[in-house]
Chain A
Amino acid sequence: MATNRLTRNGIAMTGLVIVAFYLAIIVVSLFWLPFDPVTMDTQHLLEAPSLATGHVFGTDEFGRDILSRIMKGCSVSLIISIFATALGAVFGTFMGIWAGYLGGRWDHWIMRVADVLFSFPSLLLAIFVMSILGEKTFNVVFAIGIVYIPQFARISRGAILTIKSNEFVRAARSNGASSSFILFRHLLPNILVPLIVQVSLSLSVAVLLESSLSFLGLGVQPPAPSWGNMLSGARKVMVIAPWTAIYPGFAIVLLVLGFNLLGDGLRDILDPRLRNVR
Chain B
Amino acid sequence: MSDESILRVEGLVTQFRTEYGLVKAVDGVSFELRRGETLGLVGESGCGKSVTNLSILKLIQSPPGKIAGGRVIFQGRDLLAAPEEEVRVLRGKNISMIFQDPLTSLNPVLRVSVQIAEALQLHHGLGKREAKAKAIEMLKLIGIPDPERRADDYPHQFSGGMRQRVMIAMALSCDPDILIADEPTTALDVTIQAQILDLIKNLTARNKTAVIMITHDLGVVAGMCDSICVMYAGRIVERASVDDLFYDPKHPYTRGLLDSIPRVDRAAAYGRDGPERLYSIPGSPPSLVDMPDCCPFHPRCAHAMDICRSSYPPETRLEGSAPRTVNCWLHVEEKRR
Using a CB–CB cutoff of 8 Å, the interface residues on chain A facing chain B are 104, 166-168, 170-178, 181, 185-186, 189-190
Residues of A within 8 A of B109 (CB): 189-190
Asked if B122 and A171 make an inter-chain contact with CB atoms under 8 angstroms apart, the answer reads no
Asked if B92 and A176 make an inter-chain contact with CB atoms under 8 angstroms apart, the answer reads yes
Q: How many angstroms from the CA of A177 to the CA of B174 in the assembled complex?
A: 14
Residues of B within 8 A of A174 (CB): 57, 59, 91-92, 96-97, 99, 171
CB distance from A162 to the nearest CB of B (A): 13
Pull 27 A–B residue pairs with CB atoms less than 8 Å apart, ordered by A.
Answer: A104-B63, A166-B104, A167-B99, A167-B100, A167-B105, A168-B104, A168-B106, A168-B108, A171-B99, A171-B106, A171-B167, A172-B107, A173-B59, A174-B57, A174-B59, A174-B99, A175-B91, A175-B171, A176-B89, A176-B90, A176-B93, A176-B122, A181-B122, A185-B110, A186-B110, A189-B109, A189-B110
Residue of B nearest to A193 (CB): B109
Residues of B within 8 A of A172 (CB): 107, 118
Asked if B123 and A176 make an inter-chain contact with CB atoms under 8 angstroms apart, the answer reads yes
Q: Check B328 for interface membership: any CB of A closer than 8 A.
A: no
Q: Chain B 154-168 against A: per-residue CB contact (8 Å), 1 yes, 0 no? A: 000000000000010
Residues of B within 8 A of A168 (CB): 104-108
If A167-B99, A170-B105, A171-B106 are given as contacts, then 18 extra A-B residue pairs at C-beta distance below 8 Å, sorted by A number, are A168-B104, A168-B106, A168-B108, A170-B59, A171-B167, A172-B118, A174-B59, A174-B91, A174-B171, A175-B119, A175-B122, A176-B90, A176-B91, A177-B92, A177-B118, A189-B107, A190-B108, A190-B109
Residue of A nearest to B90 (CB): A176
Q: How many angstroms from the CA of A190 to the CA of B57 in the assembled complex?
A: 26
Count residues of B near A (Cβ-Cβ below 8 Å): 28
Residues of B within 8 A of A186 (CB): 107, 110
Residues of B within 8 A of A190 (CB): 107-109
Residue of A nearest to B87 (CB): A176
Asked if A176 and B99 make an inter-chain contact with CB atoms under 8 angstroms apart, the answer reads no
Residues of A within 8 A of B105 (CB): 167-168, 170-171
CB distance from A168 to the nearest CB of B (A): 5
